[in-house]
Copies of this chain bind each other. A is one copy, B any other.
Amino acid sequence: MYKTLFDHIEKFTPLKPFEIEILESGLGITKIKKKQHVLQEGQICNTMYFITKGCFRQYIINNKGTEQTLQFGIESWWITDYLSFHNQTPSHFYIQAVENSEIIAIEKPVLESLLIQIPKLERYFRIVSQKSFGAAQMRIKFLFTMSAEERYNHFKNQQPDFVQRVPQYMLASYLDFSAEFMSKIRAGKV
């Protein structure tokens, strides 16, 4: 439902009815099945994705062939590779649905046209991305200062529901330790 997006925008800047109309006429909702990719490594990322339902992750495959999740996104999150999007360079990342999901996919030219028609969207995206950057800085802080067990407990306290929502091995890699070690943490064997 578009409402998820309109509500999110209105957290930061109010929308007039005609602006909502423009958005409704320009956007579409796409269903994405679990495990389906919306971006693969090497592709140029030309789309921003707003998640209206479900869960996605951004991950890489390291040189041992193991997947490492860098970022999760759930309802009301934007997910994309901003560097590839802005610089038109091949992406380093995969973006994949973790659950059956629904997204609003906005292609770069459509976004540019919406930003011209509804300039206050610039403000919306500014604030969203500044907050995302702030969150990324906190993430780096946690990675730097906490032990594996502390990172797991901290995450579980902050996002108790989310821990149930994704496979343990994905969460382990997001927290930067191995799936096996996650098992041991949970079993209290560390």
Contacts and interface: CB of A to CB of B under 8 A. Distances in A.
Given A125-B126, A129-B133, A176-B144, A138 B62 contact: no
A32 B72 CA distance: 39
A151 interface: no
Interface in A76-110: 81-86, 92-93
A123 interface: yes
A134 interface: yes
Nearest to A86: B131
Contact of A135 (B83, B84, B93): B83
A24 interface: no
Question: This chain: how many copies in the complex?
Answer: 2
Nearest to A58: B137
Contact of A83 (B83, B92, B138, B144): B138
Contacts of A156: none
Contacts of A92: 138, 141
Interface residues of A, number: 40
Interface stretch (A2-10, A63-71, A162-170, A182-190): A63-71
A1 interface: no
B81 A144 contact: no
Interface string A105-124: 00000000001000110110
Contact of A136 (B58, B93, B137, B145): B137
Given A60-B145, A140-B139, A130 B134 contact: no
A70 B119 contact: no
Contacts of A179: none
A140 B140 contact: yes
A69 to B, nearest CB: 9
Contact of A137 (B68, B82, B125): B82
Identify the 3 closest CB pairs spanning chains A and B, nearest first: A83-B134, A82-B134, A136-B136
